Amino acid sequence: MALKDITLGQYFPGKTIIHRLDPRTKLLGTIAYIVALFLARSVLSYAILLVVLGGLIAVSKVGVKSILRGMRPIFIIIVITAILNLFFTPGAGEPVAKFWVITIYEEGIWAAAFMILRIAMLITCTFLLTYTTSPIMLTDGLEKLLSPLRLLRVPIHELAMMMSIALRFIPTLIEETDKIMSAQKARGADFDSGNLIRKAKALVPLLVPLFISAFRRADDLAVAMECRCYHGGSGRTRLRQLTL
């Protein structure tokens, strides 16, 4: 798996109806879809949710390849979760298979299949949100949705800004990590051979230059915002007014 396969936080510009939707609509729709995923219990409910997701992907014209490429980094998590559900879900009837201390029931097979679908569809709908919504629009939508919390003196604008900046910098930090890895490979570093523990230890030298680069970028961003007289959300106007 290459770091360039991690596409979370990227935005693909477009003029589809999904791209033009108000960010608040997309945020609420994503939340509603995730809730529906966790409430789904039958094959029919998962089939309906899968058809809805497929329709949204087709309308957004993001491309199935982009979504599948973004799913590659979490493939191992999906596999481990499926195995745990397959082997450790108890059943009421006769086991389908049994070897050593491991027993597989029909309920475990269904639980593993549903869990794979649930995780994959959850990640896909989240990707669809970030792929079709620019960070600025996402920030405005979050701020509008959370605006009632201002009555409790919660700094809504600052929270939305921090979430947006964090999301925006994910692709930047991934690209920076890839550059550092390439530079260290050119100096003889080995990140590919050995077992999992050895590979993890080989990544430790990446942390120092990555943290230095991240702090430098954060400092540059803070200076740029101060030079543009940014002082928070109080009294600010917007270039684009959101309309549901």
pLDDT at 207 over 50: yes
pLDDT at 228 over 60: yes
CA nearest to 161, candidates 113, 221, 214, 111: 221
CA-derived radius of gyration, the chain: 22
Contacts of residue 58, Cβ cutoff 8 Å, sequence gap at least 6: none
**Spatial distance between the Cα atoms of 213 and 13, rounded to a whole number of angstroms:** 28
Lowest mean pLDDT of 26-30, 40-44, 72-76, name the range.
Answer: 72-76
Select the more confidently predicted residue: 210 or 243: 210
For residue 4, what pLDDT is reported? 54
Task: Kindly state the average pLDDT of the residues 11-39.
Answer: 89
Structure tokens at 84: 């745990």
Average pLDDT over the chain, rounded to an integer: 82
For residue 6, what pLDDT is reported? 59
pTM listed for this prediction: 0.73
pLDDT at 31 over 90: yes
Would you give the end-to-end CA distance of the chain in angstroms?
40
Which residue in the block uniquely carries the two structure tokens 């089939």? 47
Task: Kindly state the average pLDDT of the residues 17-23.
Answer: 89
pLDDT at 142 over 70: yes
For residue 9, what pLDDT is reported? 60
Task: Kindly state the average pLDDT of the residues 148-152.
Answer: 83
Q: How buried is 75 (Cβ within 10 angstroms: 0-12 exposed, 13-18 middle, 19+ buried)?
A: exposed
Which amino acid, one-letter code, is at 141? G
233: confidence class by pLDDT, cuts 50, 70, 90: low
List pLDDT tens digits, range 34-63.
999 989 888 899 999 999 999 999 998 887
Going by the DSSP 8-state scheme, the letter that residue 74 receives in this structure is G
Structure tokens at 184: 């260290």
Phi, psi of 14 (to 5 degrees): -165, 175
Contact 7, 70 (CB under 8 A): yes
For residue 8, what pLDDT is reported? 60
Contact 107, 90 (CB under 8 A): yes
For residue 1, what pLDDT is reported? 47
210: confidence class by pLDDT, cuts 50, 70, 90: confident
